[in-house]
Amino acid sequence: MTIRTRFAPSPTGLLHVGNIRAALHNWLWARKNGGQFWLRIDDTDAERSEERFVDAIRADLAWLGLSPDGEERQSARFDRYEARFAALRDAGRIYPAYETAQELDLKRKIAAGRGLPPIYDRAALALGDADRAALEADGVPPHWRFKLDHDTPIEWDDLIRGHQKFDAATMSDPVIRRADGSWLYMLPSVIDDAEMGITHVVRGEDHVSNTALQLQMFAAMGVKAPAFAHEALLVGSEGKLSKRLGSLGVAAFRDAGIEPEAVRALLARLGTSDPIEPIADAALLIASMDFARFGRAPARFDDAELAGLNAKIVHALDYDMVAARLPAGMGRAEWDAVRPNLKTVAEAADWWAVIDGDVPAVADPADHDFLAEAARVASEIDWAADPWHALTAALKASSGRSGKALFLPLRRALTGRDHGPDMAALLPLIGRERAVARLGGMGSSNRP
């Protein structure tokens, strides 16, 4: 059996971090098993679906490195839904119902007032042919419900949540088609999963009750259902479901300078017993994918954790992987020198300006004579070997300074900053001419 998973977003908006996590886990499971990962665009809602969101979904998956092996669109499969709908209707598993939204809401309120669960009472099943004809003659079009089998318990072994059991008699017959003929999510998804050969569905735990209903639809069509894995939902760092997580997506990550490898490394293991590590190699994440390691507690998403992970990923990025994003003229030596101090690749531009540009004067007046001496020494040392250690050794001997008193004034004068990359790596890149000018610009002859 070829393992086949799918990611099925609706193109009514941009992907958010929860969508991305589900897509990633489906992709990882398919890749681990040598299977296929499909993108299915659930665009049955013609009024809300937009092509720009389809394009954005594809672009987001590409940025994350989650390349689908194929793509389907529900809007191209309406003939398949009609055929399955007709067969299920003829078999008595789909029936028309005529209550308005207001009437259904009133029924729910009455049930709640009596302390009963808000389950549809199946009143539409009691209508005869004449009753239905009269309603439709009065201009009342039907919506359509799937008739659950109350005599068969719904059970499955969830790959994350373990054994699940539902009593169909405690659930409402789900509406699968609106009165205007448009489709709701439930039945088309089942038809697609069956006909696309989907073997595993990985999605959020908010779909557990949907799965219970859909299992009866698979059975009614006489097809084998996929295996299901319902993962815990993401919560914010404060431990609560956050509206922000519903809008946090690829655009936000890119604007913050987050690498796709960092997003993958965090979301692949968030909510599992595996440690979250700065793993840039997708093959390692694929190898460790195991539903047995997923927990049922809410998975906590923390911006600070992602930022820290991103910095570690950046520190390991080879020059060839980032060259196209670096300032013109910045080469491998400069990248290797500054990357241990970066949080994002974009910050490399700041250090390139330090290496190749103008540095604001930063010096304590008490250090002016010391810096004047540093400029003289810098002009005389051998720059072909290790100029930083040659410079500091000579200044230590001549000034008697050591530690912070020796190193900090030099760093400030040469870079305009108190902290940064190793000066032994940075100074040769700054070069003799710029270094002497920066140190001399702070010296006693240049005091204001």
- Dist CA 46 CA 182 (whole Å): 9
Burial (Cβ within 10 Å: 0-12, 13-18, ≥19) of residue 158: middle
∠34-263-342 over CA atoms, to 5°?
Answer: 130
- Dist CA 419 CA 274 (whole Å): 34
Which amino acid, one-letter code, is at 308?
G
Name the CA dihedral angle for 50, 55, 56, 62, rounded to a multiple of 10 degrees. Answer: 160
Neighbours of 110 (CB within 10 A): 12
Structure tokens belonging to residue 146: 């799937």
- Dist CA 55 CA 73 (whole Å): 13
- Dist CA 161 CA 296 (whole Å): 7
Count how many Cα atoms sit within 13 Å of the Cα of residue 414 in the half-sphere of its side chain.
29
Burial (Cβ within 10 Å: 0-12, 13-18, ≥19) of residue 78: middle
Radius of gyration of the chain (CA): 32
32 in a labelled binding site? no
Q: Are 371 and 446 in contact (CB under 8 A)?
A: no
Report DSSP letters for 68-122, one per residue.
-SEEEEGGG-HHHHHHHHHHHHHTTSEEEE---HHHHHHHHHHHHHTT-------
Local structure of residue 44 (DSSP, 8 states): -
Known binding-site residues equal 243
Known binding-site residues for ATP equal 243
